[in-house]
Amino acid sequence: MYAEKTAHRLPAAEVQAILAKYPPDQRRSAVMPLLYLAQRERMHVSREDMAEIAEILGLTPTEVASIVGFYSLYYDAPKGKYHIQVCNDLPCALRGADRFLQELCARLGIQPGETTADGLITVEAVMCLAACDKAPMFQLQSGAGLKYFENQTVETALALIEQLRQDAATKRGRDGHA
């Protein structure tokens, strides 16, 4: 049983709650919720996390890593605290998503896929977020989960980013960090 292990990085009670949702012979189906759990605090899934999940589910670390590599929701390296994923597939591009992505990144002083100098915001292009009629749009991924922002302009996105920065500064102040 997972909780009996002495050295683990994932919260045992939460792992058990996730595993309880799956029949014992279907344990491997818990891979995505466990990856989400691993990523929640650090906003990426480390090799150690992947190895632990593989051990829990009876998979190989390579099988777990392939899932991390396939889905745009998971990261295997540190990025910003907030991930802004701009959909730029063809229907969204026809509604201005490519221009939106380029202008947003230019205003932030980064290229798509990069993180701002303060380490808070990573902006990237992704394919199909299922909101073609509301482009330009993006999903914001953070430790709190996912949230969609539709019918965006560069100005509305920058206002959100400013709010995220203010919230982060307030939290750092409350936590006693510089």
Q: How far apart are the C-alpha atoms of 42 and 132, rounded to whole Å?
A: 30
- Domain assignment present for 36: yes
Beta carbons within 10 angstroms of residue 75's beta carbon: 20
Residue 172: pLDDT over 90: no
- Domain assignment present for 137: yes
pLDDT in tens, 82-93: 999 999 999 999
DSSP letter (8 states) at residue 90: H
Same domain, 95 and 155: yes
- What range does the domain containing 14 cover? 2-70
Give me the CATH number covering residue 150.
3.40.30.10
- Domain assignment present for 76: no
pTM: 0.75
- Domain assignment present for 77: no
- Domain assignment present for 75: no
Could you say which of 39, 70, 101 is where a domain stops?
Answer: 70
Could you say which of 47, 70, 93 is where a domain stops?
Answer: 70
Same domain, 96 and 158: yes
Same domain, 40 and 13: yes
Strands across the sheet containing 82-87: 121-126, 82-87, 138-142, 145-149
Domain count, the chain: 2
When pLDDT is averaged across residues 46-64 and rounded to a whole number, the result is 95
Q: Parallel, antiparallel, or unpaired for β 82-87 and 138-142?
A: antiparallel
Give me the CATH number covering residue 42.
1.10.10.1590
Could you say which of 70, 97, 130 is where a domain stops?
Answer: 70
pLDDT in tens, 125-137: 999 999 999 999 9
Residue 41's pLDDT band (boundaries 50, 70, 90)?
Answer: confident
Angle at the Cα of 76 (from 149 to 158), degrees rounded to 5?
Answer: 25
The secondary element (H helix, E strand) that includes residue 39 is: helix 31-42
Residue 6's pLDDT band (boundaries 50, 70, 90)?
Answer: very low
